[in-house]
């Protein structure tokens, strides 16, 4: 670990000062697009106003013979598009791939000023972040960038999960973490072939009825990702960075997608990936706090005055802790309302 004194020094002469705080901007969905596809590139200007984060994907799902076209397509889109207040991210290829170095070198050189965050897949430990950190500092210095590019890591190997706290705190560039359930399942030898979501075989069953042992027993499906997601949220918050749910691969199952996203929202995540336009609306709905919760939270804050002591509201006890819970909801609502006029009206802000 670098000492606190050195932690915020640039890692290359002439590189910008590292950020002291990670900006928390609307982040409900990280919308993936395939920059090698001409059709996808042509849709970007119409998608930008609909999403909080637009991400050009260079890694998995881009065939090996399309990697260079994807990189070039991303650079073209980044250079020619006005993103307004929508964040621009890219997911580069993994550190052990033949493409990572050119992905980072070319993107930082050509469109580094426009890029908010680089998503690095398959991060296994702090050492991976340290390498990316120094490389980015060198490239920022070489190309005269004024603002540091932030790093987002995907948690998608067993070793990465074992080291999640160190990864989250490895550099001031660390912006957040996403769960990568597909690669993580493979790395752990889990026996699900789905991309995120539940599995009907992962369940608990009611005890048998002693008087009727053969009677059917109720089961409840459990969440395969609960442990990892909860660890990831704690690691992120402990290090001042942002947690995101990752992909939900069954595009047609919008109901289960909404459930999975909502579990992540309730557990502390700020957003999820959208892999298809239909998931943009789901993420927007789920990661914007519900109107009745926001109104209730405003009532609690109002009733609690200076935020200390205790009051009863509709038969429910409120105190210093519940007012903090309510502030989380209202502050998120206020931040999102600034971007979204419909939400502003619905929240009455």
Residues that bind Mg ion in the complex, under the rule CB under 5 A: 156, 180, 183
Under the criterion CB under 6 A, does residue 182 sit at the interface with ligand GLV? yes
Stretch that binds ligand GLV, among 24-32, 63-71, 79-87, 178-186 (CB under 6 A): 178-186
CB of 233 vs ligand GLV, minimal distance in Å: 17
Question: Interacting stretch for ligand GLV, rule CB under 6 A, among 109-117, 181-189, 222-230, 296-304?
Answer: 181-189
Which 131-170 residues touch ligand GLV, going by CB under 6 A?
A: 154, 156
Q: Which is nearer to ligand GLV, 195 or 346 (CB)?
A: 195
Q: Does 180 bind ligand GLV (CB under 6 A)?
A: yes
Query: Is residue 243 involved in binding ligand GLV (CB under 6 A)?
Result: no
Could you tell me the two tokens for 25?
């901007």
**Considering the rule CB under 6 A, would residue 103 count as an interface residue with ligand GLV?**
no
Residue pair 128/95 in contact by the 8 Å Cβ criterion: yes
Nearer to Mg ion, 261 or 347 (CB): 261
Q: Between 60 and 76, name the residue whose CB sits nearer to ligand GLV.
A: 60
Q: Calculate the CA dihedral of residues 127, 132, 135, 140 and round it to 10 degrees.
A: -140
Sign of CA dihedral 22, 26, 27, 33: negative
Q: Specify the residue, 246 or 289, whose C-beta has the smaller distance to ligand GLV.
A: 246
Question: Tokens at residue 84, please?
Answer: 């307004």
247 contact choice in ligand GLV, Mg ion, none (CB below 5 to 8 Å, kind-dependent): ligand GLV
- Dihedral of the CA atoms 239, 269, 152, 256 (nearest 10)? 150
**C-beta of residue 247 within 8 angstroms of C-beta of residue 195:** yes
- The whole-angstrom separation of Cα 92 and Cα 246 is 16
Question: How far is Cα 150 from Cα 310, in angstroms, rounded to an integer?
Answer: 41
Per-residue binding string, ligand GLV, 68-87, x by CB under 6 A, is: --------------------
246 binds, among Mg ion, ligand GLV, none (CB under 5 to 8 A by kind): ligand GLV
Provide, rounded to whole angstroms, the least separation between the CB of residue 66 and ligand GLV: 17
Angstrom distance (rounded) from CA 171 to CA 166:
9
Let me know: does 164 contact 171? Beta carbons within 8 Å: no
Quickly tell me which residue has 């998995």 as its tokens.
Answer: 60
**Binding track, positions 281-310, relative to ligand GLV; x by CB under 6 A:** ------------------------------
User: Beta-carbon neighbour count of residue 238 at 10 Å?
Assistant: 11
In order of 204, 217, 237, 320, the CA distances from 214 in angstroms are: 17, 9, 47, 51
Cα–chain-centroid distance for residue 240?
14
Name the minimum Å distance from CB 152 to Mg ion: 13
Chain positions contacting ligand GLV, by CB under 6 A: 60, 154, 156, 180-183, 195, 246-247
């Amino acid at each position: 670990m670098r000492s606190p004194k050195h932690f915020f020094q640039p890692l290359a002469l002439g590189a910008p000062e590292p950020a002291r705080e990670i900006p928390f901007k609307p982040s409900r969905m990280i919308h993936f697009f395939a920059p090698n596809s001409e059709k996808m590139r042509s849709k970007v200007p119409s998608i930008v106003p609909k999403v909080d984060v637009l991400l050009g994907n260079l890694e998995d799902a881009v065939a090996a013979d399309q990697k260079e076209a994807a990189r070039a397509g991303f650079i073209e889109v980044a250079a020619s598009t006005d993103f307004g207040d929508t964040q621009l991210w890219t997911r580069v290829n993994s550190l052990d791939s033949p493409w990572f170095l050119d992905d980072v070198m070319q993107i930082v050189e050509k469109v580094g000023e426009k890029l908010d965050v680089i998503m690095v897949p398959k991060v296994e430990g702090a050492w991976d972040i340290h390498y990316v950190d120094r490389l980015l500092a060198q490239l920022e210095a070489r190309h005269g960038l004024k603002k540091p590019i932030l790093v987002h890591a995907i948690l998608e190997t067993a070793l990465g999960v074992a080291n999640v706290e160190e990864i989250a705190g490895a550099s001031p560039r660390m912006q957040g973490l996403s769960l990568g359930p597909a690669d993580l399942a493979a790395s752990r030898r889990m026996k699900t072939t789905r991309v995120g979501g539940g599995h009907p075989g992962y369940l608990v069953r009611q005890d048998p009825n002693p008087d009727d042992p053969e009677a059917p027993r109720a089961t409840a499906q459990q969440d395969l990702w609960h442990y990892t997601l909860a660890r990831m949220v704690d690691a992120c918050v402990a290090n001042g960075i942002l947690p995101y749910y990752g992909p939900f691969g069954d595009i047609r199952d919008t109901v289960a997608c909404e459930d999975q996203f909502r579990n992540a929202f309730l557990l502390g995540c700020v957003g999820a990936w959208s892999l298809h336009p239909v998931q943009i609306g789901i993420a927007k709905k789920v990661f914007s706090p519900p109107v009745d919760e926001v109104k209730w939270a405003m009532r609690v804050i109002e009733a609690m005055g200076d935020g200390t002591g205790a009051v009863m509201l509709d038969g429910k006890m409120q105190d210093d802790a519940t007012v903090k819970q309510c502030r989380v909801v209202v502050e998120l609502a206020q931040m999102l309302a600034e971007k979204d006029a419909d939400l502003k009206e619905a929240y009455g802000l």
